[in-house]
Amino acid sequence: MNNELLDFRSDTVTKPTPGMLEAMMSAKVGDDVFGEDETVHQLETKLAELFNMEAGLFCPSGTMTNQIAIKCFTQPMDEVICDQTAHVYRYEIGGIAFHSAASVRLLHGERGILTPDLIEPEINEDNIHYPNSSLVVLENTVNKGGGSCYKLSDIAPIHHLCNIKGLKLHLDGARIFNALTATGDSAHDYGQYFDGISVCLSKGLGAPVGSVLLASKATIHKARKIRKAFGGGMRQAGFLAAAGIYALDNHVERLKDDHKHARDLAAALSGTSYVKSVMPVETNIVIFEVAAGTANKVVSRLQEKGLLCNTTSSSTIRLVTHLDLSSSMIDRAIEIIVHL
């Protein structure tokens, strides 16, 4: 077992647990394109109720939920406002332009966190030359921000601004449960502030596949058609939805362990000579800057010792903690880090 790889590349690498597989095997399924899969329906309803939204839509990926939401909330030639680090901009292959024919206004938040003061001056006036600013997208937690979090008290004034200016507000909540764990905010209080929320089941929650878009009934009706147009209508998807339900019931409480593991790793990294600085750790992501040489070299040396991770730039490296990294594996990782 001691030669087992320590995989810190992403919280997407987790495999279904025996309990999760059992829940999947015994799921009641039907054709979800016909609206007949009761397990999918149960997952959508469960998350909608949890976040106090009217309805949900189960999708194959977080990228698809975000792109469907953006298409629901914009018209061609509109402009989407987000941070320059945003997943919807950087890591969704220019999907905003491709699917929605909208432009993007990039802001520079502190570790990806936006404020009303940053957003307000970037909302276009009604002018013949300007795209119509129609949507703000927030990310919580911010991946590129090293897992930085918005608190609900940061979100309320952004919602207020969007409301008076007539913009929609969407949350890329790929790691929303990590944010809830770190801030102590309640999921139920989120619904009132957002027109759309994307929740990933395949990141920290440990399901193999799937994300759910939460919104009003009218928006989900439209989103369901867009999902079909994107080729995302799934048939007996209840087998996958069952994994999501299991994850929500069993894998949320334990996220605090991932956060502790991330803090422990950050502390170990801070004490080494090859690390220049470590970003503050708020959740399950640790981003650090190497002191000398390139990040690629440090990644290769870590890999030789059995610790897998990725660079996020030529001088920075990211480690992500998750369900498949136990406390004893974290101890082994710390040994590797300290003696590299």
Ligand X SMILES: *Cc1c(COP(=O)(O)O)cnc(C)c1O
Q: Which is nearer to ligand X, 85 or 132 (CB)?
A: 85
Closest residue by Cα to residue 215 from 47, 93, 94, 34? 47
Residue type at 177 in one-letter notation: F
Interface with ligand X: number of residues (CB under 6 A): 13
The two three-digit tokens of residue 13, written as one number: 């690498």
Q: Rule CB under 6 A: say whether 84 interacts with ligand X.
A: no
Q: Does 67 contact ligand X by CB under 6 A?
A: no
Nearest-approach distance from CB 142 to ligand X, in angstroms: 7
Instruction: Report the nearest approach of ligand X to the CB of residue 64 (Å).
Output: 7
Instruction: Give the side-chain half-sphere CA count within 13 A for 33.
Output: 9
| Least CB distance to ligand X at residue 97 (A) | 17
Peptide bond into 63 cis (omega under 30): no
- Element containing residue 319 per DSSP (H, E): strand 316-320
Task: List the interface residues with ligand X, window 185-204 (CB under 6 A).
Answer: 200, 202-203
Name, in order, each residue with C-beta under 8 angstroms of 18's C-beta and a sequence gap of 6 or more.
none
Task: Name which of 132 and 202 has its Cβ closer to ligand X.
Answer: 202
For position 61 contacting ligand X by CB under 6 A, the verdict is: yes
Tell me whether residue 63 or residue 74 sits nearer to ligand X (CB atom).
Answer: 63
| Distance in Å, CB of 304 to ligand X, minimum | 27
Is residue 112 within the footprint of ligand X (CB under 6 A)?
Answer: no
Binding flag, residue 63, ligand X (CB under 6 A): yes
Neighbouring residues of 92: CB distance < 8 A, sequence distance ≥ 6:
63, 66, 67
Backbone angles phi, psi at 122, to 5 degrees: -95, 0
Nearest approach in angstroms of CB 169 to ligand X is 16
Is 66 or 219 the residue whose CB approaches ligand X more closely?
Answer: 66
Q: Which of 87, 111, 224, 251 binds ligand X (CB under 6 A)?
A: 87
Residues in CB range of 36: below 8 A, 6 or more apart? 30
Note whether 14 binds ligand X by CB under 6 A: no
Locus of tokens 């703000």 = 136
- B/e letters for 240-267, b = 16+ CB within 10 Å, e = fewer, are bbbbbbbbbebbbeebebbbebbbbbbe
Q: Which of 39, 143, 283, 284 touches ligand X by CB under 6 A?
A: 143
Using Cβ positions, the residue closest to ligand X within the complex turns out to be 62
Complex with ligand X: residue 123 or 197, whichever CB lies closer: 197
Of the pair 66, 132, the CB lying nearest ligand X is at 66
For the bound state, the minimum distance from the C-beta of residue 198 to ligand X, rounded and expressed in Å, comes to 7
In Å, how far from its chain's centre is CA 67? 13
Q: How far is the CB of 173 from ligand X (least distance, A)?
A: 8
C-alpha to C-alpha distance for 46 and 31, rounded to whole angstroms: 19
**Which residues contact ligand X (rule: CB under 6 A)?**
61-63, 66, 87, 139, 143, 172, 174, 200, 202-203, 211
